[in-house]
Amino acid sequence: MDAQTKLTFAIEEHGNPVPASERAERIADPGFGRVFTDHMAMVRWSKDKGWHDAKITARRPIEMDPASSVLHYAQEIFEGMKAYRLADGATALFRPEENARRFNRSATRMAMPELPEQLFLESIEKLVSIDREWIPTAEGGALYIRPFMFASEVFLGVRPAHEYLYLVIASSVGAYFKGGAKAISIWVSEDYTRAAPGGTGAAKCGGNYAASLVAQAQAIENGCDQVVFLDAAEHRWVEELGGMNLFFVMEDGSMVTPPLKGTILPGITRESILALARDEGIAVREEEYAIDQWRADAESGRLRETFACGTAAVVTPVGTVRSSKGDFTIGAGGTGQLTQRLRDRLVGIQRGEQADPHGWVKRLF
């Protein structure tokens, strides 16, 4: 065992935390990503020392030199996960080891150091523990946890940095899309792609999001909630939304989802839905699905449902698809039966209200 795996977190409690009454007000209807807890986790890495200086400390602005390399070359990755309050009052995470592993796959792709899995898990558990009172009690509420790492070295040369900062912040959140699981409309981007073969599509890096924003803005201009990207080579195969994976439900009850070939982010929600569908005996194919086929199948009725999935919004039905070639509606434009069932099943497991045969829920305290 090397020194890094034995690192322990120093706990520096906030000297002036948000008073309980003010906190209650802030978390009553928090929306998404605006209300933050009192603390954060922080660990440093340098080429000489490896991982060191692990602590839980007061959340505060970080001072950065203007030459910090992340500000120039975008060496940055992140994760997104939730801490839930279970039906019996306990607090739990959902498959956090999967986030730890994916974080390291992203790190490898971006030429950044891997973080020992144990350190990742401990940073989250310690932060959730100290800020547990920030978990909203309202239905759909959770603590959204955002681990991230960036190149902090003060250097303008182009090469992997020699210093990094790993941080975890937490945000009290309500339901992601206003109006709950209402069906969303999506815009097919014909001008922009998200990821190309050999690129960073499978890494959870900030740069992917930066590149998606102009397409997302077009979606909004066209009256849609989200953008869907096609493959970069042929502009034919449906890949995913800016931050969610897609599933298609056929009239024979089978499902299709685009395969993981390096241009799609391997969602943990996606993987969980695949497992739950297979538990039910549903035939799920991970195979390419063309945009023209999507339209034809929606129009003929061969396609019954489409849904998007990800940690933030869990499972969200897609009602309408819009492109320069016109609109098409999926099913009756609302929430399909299988979409609803899989959503209820997944949320039921996450909230400790249903059996958890795969052992996905990790109780903390």
Residues that bind ligand PLP (CB under 6 A): 80, 204, 240, 243-245, 265, 267-270, 310-311
Q: At what angle do helices 96-109 and 268-279 cross, to 10 degrees?
A: 130
Residue closer to ligand PLP (CB basis): 174 or 243: 243
CB-nearer residue toward ligand PLP: 268 or 274: 268
CA–CA dist 251, 255 (Å, integer) = 9
Quote the least distance from Cβ 204 to ligand PLP, whole Å.
Answer: 5
What minimum distance in Å lies between the beta carbon of 143 and ligand PLP?
Answer: 15
Give 54 or 83: the residue with its C-beta nearer to ligand PLP. Answer: 83
Nearer to ligand PLP, 173 or 268 (CB): 268
Q: Judge residue 181's burial from the number of C-beta atoms within 10 Å of its C-beta, 0-12 exposed, 13-18 middle, 19 or more buried.
A: buried
Taking the complex as a whole, how short is the minimal distance between the CB of residue 327 and ligand PLP, in angstroms? 24
3-state helix, strand, coil in the chain (%, to 5): 25, 30, 40
**H/E segment holding residue 319:** strand 314-323
Minimum gap (Å) between residue 306 Cβ and ligand PLP: 15
Phi, psi (5° rounding) for residue 238? -75, 130
In the complex with ligand PLP, the residue whose CB is nearer, 9 or 237, is 237
- Report, in Å, the least distance between residue 102 CB and ligand PLP: 7
Q: Which CB atom, from 270 or from 343, has the smaller least distance to ligand PLP?
A: 270
Neighbours of 289 (CB within 10 A): 22
- DSSP string for 202-249: TS-BHHHHHHHHHHHHHHHHTT-SEEEEEPTTTS-BEEEESS-EEEEE
| Residue position matching structure tokens 């199948």 | 297
Euclidean distance between CA atoms 355 and 349, whole angstroms: 6
Min dist. Cβ of residue 84 to ligand PLP (A): 14
Nearest CB to ligand PLP, comparing residues 56 and 318? 318
Task: Give the sign of the dihedral formed by CA 156, CA 67, CA 215, CA 78.
Answer: positive
Give the shortest CB-186-to-ligand PLP separation in angstroms: 14
Cα separation, 336 vs 253, whole angstroms: 11
